[in-house]
Amino acid sequence: MGELYNRMAGDLKLKNYAPGTQKAYLTCATRYARFHVGRSPSVLGEREVRDFLLDLALKQATPAVMKMHLAGLRFLYSTTLRRPEVVVGIPWPKTRRTLPDILSGIEVDQLLSAMEPLKHRAVVMTAYGAGLRISEACSLGTLDIDSKRMLIHVRDGKRGRDRYTVLPVRLLQLLREYFRQTRPARPYLFPGQTAQRPIRPSTVRDALAKAIAKVGLKKRVTPHTLRHAFATHLLETGTDIRVIQALLGHASLQSTTRYTQVSTAHVGRVTSPLDVLGTPKGQLLR
């Protein structure tokens, strides 16, 4: 794409998109340009965009991949080329909504106990105990732990938002033990191979996979599963959903209400109308 690639990269930086999103959008635009080899995207139109996306669909690309490519092309045409009419009529792929596997409290405790070494256990316990995304847990600074107010300061979260979340007593105790043993150099609480970079999320994922195998869990578990478990367990123990929204850093309550669909405790407390037939309460069913 040459000059157009550089323009798009500059626009993404100016709009302060996350580094991962910048890379993904540029990759999608590059694939689009290669599909129409010899022709610049600046002279292509809606038909060419549709042909590219249809080719992806014929190659059985997942809905998530389709959405990412369309999002990248929408940015290219709407922002960089200032031709939004090219992509405005192309519909978003319909995605299947699935519910995540939710770990019980016992399962979470088993996983945490099986995590090795101590640094990896501390990262995973932080992700669950404070409801953090794995990238947020890995990039915490030593000054982000406020033991006086029992808060964790999450900086530059999703979409660049800062927030505060809870610092559990049990987590603080583990972090103090971890700090005594490792003495992590600033700025990061969980440094990687060098003090200037945080531990990589992939490193934590690998350690979590080993703990899952050790415990023998059959559920599909990722670091994000622990964030789901945090929200669901709070809901099941009576925490207001708007408080959960703030702790998770959700911009929309709709994102948080998803956990009402996976809370088995809430479902289990529902009385089926079958069980009220023939009872005084059943008189209401007229």
pLDDT in tens, 163-190: 899 899 999 999 999 999 998 878 999 9
Extract the residue ranges of the chain whose pLDDT is less than 70: 97-99, 159-160, 258-278, 281-286
pLDDT recorded at residue 79: 96
pLDDT recorded at residue 74: 96
Q: Where in the chain is the domain with CATH 1.10.443.10?
A: 105-267
Residue 218 is among the residues annotated as catalytic for this protein: no
Among the listed residues 133, 188, 228, 233, the single catalytic one is 133
pLDDT recorded at residue 124: 95
* Rounded to 5°, angle at Cα 54 from 74 and 11: 20
| Inter-residue long-range contacts of 94-97, CB under 8 Å, 24+ positions, other chains counted | 94/63, 95/63, 95/64, 95/67, 96/63
Residue 224 is among the residues annotated as catalytic for this protein: yes
Question: DSSP readout, 22-83?
Answer: HHHHHHHHHHHHHHTTTS-GGG--HHHHHHHHHHHHHTT--HHHHHHHHHHHHHIIIIIS--
Q: Are 144 and 154 in contact (CB under 8 A)?
A: yes
pLDDT recorded at residue 38: 86
Residue 164 is among the residues annotated as catalytic for this protein: no
pLDDT recorded at residue 178: 94
- Would the pTM of this model clear 0.75, i.e. be above it? no
Residue 178 is among the residues annotated as catalytic for this protein: no
Calpha distance 15→48 (Å, rounded)? 26
pLDDT recorded at residue 234: 84
Q: Where in the chain is the domain with CATH 1.10.150.130?
A: 3-86
Residue 250 is among the residues annotated as catalytic for this protein: yes
Q: Are 21 and 69 in contact (CB under 8 A)?
A: no
pLDDT recorded at residue 65: 92
**How many CB atoms lie under 10 A from the CB of residue 160?**
10
pLDDT recorded at residue 4: 94
Pick the CATH number of 3-86 from 1.10.150.130, 1.20.1250.20, 1.10.287.1770, 3.50.50.60: 1.10.150.130
Fold of 105-267: hpI Integrase; Chain A (1.10.443)
Among the listed residues 69, 119, 227, 228, the single catalytic one is 227
Among the listed residues 23, 50, 224, 281, the single catalytic one is 224
Among the listed residues 77, 128, 178, 259, the single catalytic one is 259
Residue 148 is among the residues annotated as catalytic for this protein: no
Among the listed residues 7, 67, 153, 158, the single catalytic one is 158
Question: Given the structure tokens 């190659």, which residue do they identify?
Answer: 59
